[in-house]
Amino acid sequence: MMRFIWPFIIFIVLAAFLFVGLRLDPREVPSPLIGKPAPNFALEQLKTPGKQFSPAEMKGKVWLLNAWASWCVACEAEHPILMDLARMNVVPIYGLDYKDKREAALSVLAQRGDPYVLAVSDYDGRTGIDYGVYGVPETYLIDKQGVIRYKQIGPITAENLREKILPLIAELDKK
């Protein structure tokens, strides 16, 4: 009996590792930017070209930066949640229109509704690279000191909005 105990234990440990591995999403790469200052940029506003927006203007506010694009299918799925969040009026949402055409982005916002306080155009994707964007949608929660506190990879779901993002916003607002 004893001679089977060790192989059995090793089997159980291996099986446990593999089982956990099954449930991990390899597409979720933890961002090294969490806890770091949000990279600055100055990009043209989507609706008023010629006017720029920069995260430096947001000092003292908790805000969301949502990377999206008109060509992005998952963004379409995320859109109603962003609209709900905008209506809740708990956090300003800014859009980073990633590698998009201005007309296409504007027509999508006109069609589906615009959850953003304003959106900026990252035509060549350089700002996206600074933020470590590797697939839209991605959303960053930035605190009053301009530090990234949370990154959502892929669409925000009702569940992680309720369980992670909203509580974190409430906590950061108090500081």
Partner 1 sequence: MRSFILLLLLSFNGICMAGEARDLAKDPAIEKRMVSLAENLRCLVCQNESLASSHAELAEDLRREVRELIQKGMTDSEIKKYLVARYGDFVLYEPPLKSMTLMLWLGPFALLLAGLGVLAVQLRKRRESISDSVLSSEEQARVNALLNDKER
Find the shortest distance in angstroms from Cβ 158 to partner 1. Answer: 26
- Could you tell me which stretch among 41-49, 85-93, 132-140, 161-169 binds partner 1 (CB under 8 A)? 132-140
Of residues 4 through 33, those in contact with partner 1 by CB under 8 A are 26-27, 29-33
**Residue 154 engages partner 1 in binding (rule: CB under 8 A):** no
User: At closest approach, how far in Å is the CB of 113 from partner 1?
Assistant: 27
Which residue, 126 or 162, has its beta carbon nearer to partner 1? Answer: 126
Window 38-97: residues binding partner 1 (CB under 8 A): none
Stretch that binds partner 1, among 89-97, 110-118, 125-133, 157-165 (CB under 8 A): 125-133
Q: Which of residues 93-112 bind partner 1 (CB under 8 A)?
A: 99
Residue 27 phi/psi, 5-degree rounding, is -80, -15
**Minimum distance, C-beta of residue 129 to partner 1, in the bound complex (Å):** 6
Under the criterion CB under 8 A, does residue 125 sit at the interface with partner 1? Answer: yes
Q: How far is CA 46 from the centre of its chain?
A: 19
Nearer to partner 1, 92 or 132 (CB): 132
3-state secondary structure the chain: CHHHHHHHHHHHHHHHHHHHHHHCCCCCCCCCCCCCECCCCCEEECCCCCCEECHHHHCCCCEEEEEECCCCHHHHHHHHHHHHHHHHCCCCEEEEEECCCHHHHHHHHHHHCCCCCEEEEECCCHHHHHCCCCCCCEEEEECCCCEEEEEEECCCCHHHHHHHHHHHHHHHHHC
The stretch among 44-52, 87-95, 126-134, 139-147 that binds partner 1 (CB under 8 A) is 126-134
Q: CA–CA separation, 91 vs 55, rounded Å?
A: 15
With respect to partner 1, which residue has the nearer C-beta, 63 or 98? 98
